[in-house]
Amino acid sequence: MFGFLLGEALRDLRRAGRVAVSAVALITLSLAALGGFWLLSSNLGQAVAEWRDRVRIIVYLRQEPPGAEVQALLDRVHALPGVAGARFVSKADALRSLKRVLGKEASVADHLSSNPLPASIEVTPAAESATPEGTRALLRRLGALPDAEEVAGGVDWVERLSQWQHLLATIGFAIGGVLAVAAVLTVTTATTLVLHARRQETEIMRLVGAPEMVVRMPLLLQGMMQGLAGAILAVIALVVAYRVGAPELEPLVNLTLGLPQLNFLAPISVVTLVIAGTLLGGVGGLLARGRREP
């Protein structure tokens, strides 16, 4: 029975002709647009997560405490709400870090008459403080320490990056949604044309007692095949675009976002796109309505 229904669906696809091809093209465009924005959004999300983990607040000290008092100072910082960790950075450690940053120009620091860099405490915020509001509250608490000269750091720019991620996802869903509606309507049109072309055949099937499911199942399968074809083409287009574009974009992404490489969509995301395309086509097939002969 299924073989018969599948054969009818394939025959209906040939009947639909250019309209069916248009439906496949629109499904491909809608899913490619959605997948493209999804790919960008997922990589931005990865960057946001990594930078949130790297967020540090630096407490510059008025003067470097004696070695015996360092642990007591760290204990006071650890006791503050919203602090996950704290590390003391001496003036000598700060100068060594500066020389590493300077690289070949590190010899410039050797000509300094004295070490101008302050001692500091590098604070790792707890999860609840890794937000703009939580960070501002933690900055106020750290700034109130008697030993603190200045406090620097925050996550505002990380949150702005997160907002861009959500904006990209919203734009992608909006564009994909509009194209998906157009694709469903085109599938519906193609299926309706086929339904009109075979209306006499379907009426005869109903007269001899064929269940409505048997009558309409080829239409559903026709729509699902269009959706599946569009989804597969969209995935292929995304893979090609990723392989061509990723090597060109990775140096810029590494410089601006700190990501060593752009990652393609996860397998579950690819499967979701394929299922979404198949369902879009199926919905178009279900919505088709033909006129019964009187």
Per residue in 109-122, pLDDT (tens digit) is: 777 778 888 899 98
Residue 50 has pLDDT above 80, yes or no: no
State percent of the chain over pLDDT 90: 8
Is pTM beyond 0.85 here? no
Residue 274 has pLDDT above 70, yes or no: yes
Q: What confidence score (pLDDT) does residue 236 get?
A: 94
Residue 74 has pLDDT above 60, yes or no: yes
Residue 294 has pLDDT above 60, yes or no: no
Check the CA dihedral 89-94-96-100 and report its sign: positive
pLDDT one-digit tens code per residue, 164-217? 777 777 887 788 778 778 777 777 776 676 666 556 556 555 555 555 555 567
Q: What's the mean pLDDT when you consider all of the chain?
A: 77
Contact of 82 with 137, CB cutoff 8 Å: yes
Please indicate whether residue 78 or residue 11 has the higher confidence score (pLDDT): 78
Amino acid, res. 224: M
Q: 288 pLDDT band (50/70/90 cuts)?
A: low
Residue 150, strand partner residues:
60
Q: What confidence score (pLDDT) does residue 291 get?
A: 42
pLDDT one-digit tens code per residue, 87-107? 899 988 888 887 787 777 777
Residue 292 has pLDDT above 60, yes or no: no
65-97: burial string, b at 16+ Cβ within 10 Å, e else? beeeeeeebbeebeebebbeebebbbbeebbee
Average confidence (pLDDT) over 74-87: 89
Residue 141 has pLDDT above 50, yes or no: yes
Contact of 222 with 194, CB cutoff 8 Å: yes
Residue 123's H or E segment, with its range, is strand 120-125
State percent of the chain over pLDDT 70: 75
Contact of 70 with 121, CB cutoff 8 Å: no
Enumerate domains of the chain plus CATH numbers. Answer: 2-51+158-287 (no CATH), 56-154 (3.30.70.3040)
Candidate from 24-38, 52-66, 144-158, 230-244 with smallest mean pLDDT: 144-158
